[in-house]
Amino acid sequence: MDVHEAIARRRAIREYTDEPIREDVVDRVVRAALEAPSAFNLQLRDVVVIRDPETKRMLSESSRQAQFEAADTVLVFVARAEALPEDAADILPADYLARVKKVKESMPPAALREAAMKDTMLAAGFALVAASAEGLATSPTTGWNEEAVKELIGLGGREDRGIGLVVAMGHPAVEAPHPGRQDSRRVDERYA
């Protein structure tokens, strides 16, 4: 399947069969997510791969969204809302890192969170397309309590972490019609 077909076939699907997703397929989707570009290549996002039934059940319970429990796998896209990751020196050459450090350390927490969220959501978008290319269904969500999700994945109380998208993923049990897109969302050159 080429990338255009994977994008065109993707729908938000919330019901899944019991067929497990093969480990190598999960790995490919996660790798695709982590292949997404990020500002300064600092990769200020993590992907938490949840396959444990009890954790998925608790996610469903706390968010009142049944698709997490129903899904084979849930991917939680975590924003690292910090100036620099602990491994920044492994990623960037020292002189460049010194310049980036100056810029990032001058940013207030809200701006750091926003920057990390941009990295996070882009990685999540890559995962949605990669999953579609594997014939999998996904349900991207933001309808949950951030603190409850953080607690469940071991980040309770961490101010320097945020949740971008929580994605349920499984083999589709249903089909969904295309809900439509507005042509008016394309703007050529500038707003009139």
Ligand X SMILES: Cc1cc2nc3c(=O)[nH]c(=O)nc-3n(C[C@H](O)[C@H](O)[C@H](O)COP(=O)(O)O)c2cc1C
- Residue 65 interacts with ligand X (CB under 6 A)? yes
How far is 192 from 110, CA to CA, in rounded Å?
32
CA of 59: how far to CAs of 42, 46, 149, 172, in Å?
29, 18, 7, 20
What track of x and - describes contact with ligand X for positions 108 through 127 (by CB under 6 A)? --------------------
Stretch binding ligand X (CB under 6 A), from 6-14, 50-58, 97-105, 111-119: 6-14
Nearest Cα neighbor of 150 from 21, 64, 59 is 59
Report the nearest approach of ligand X to the CB of residue 165 (Å). Answer: 6
- Residue 179 interacts with ligand X (CB under 6 A)? yes
Inter-residue contact 114 to 84 (CB < 8 Å)? no
- Residue 11 interacts with ligand X (CB under 6 A)? yes
What track of x and - describes contact with ligand X for positions 69 through 98 (by CB under 6 A)? ------------------------------
Q: 75 vs 84, which CB is nearer to ligand X?
A: 75
Q: 100 vs 120, which CB is nearer to ligand X?
A: 120
Which positions touch ligand X (CB under 6 A)?
11-12, 14, 65, 139-143, 176, 179
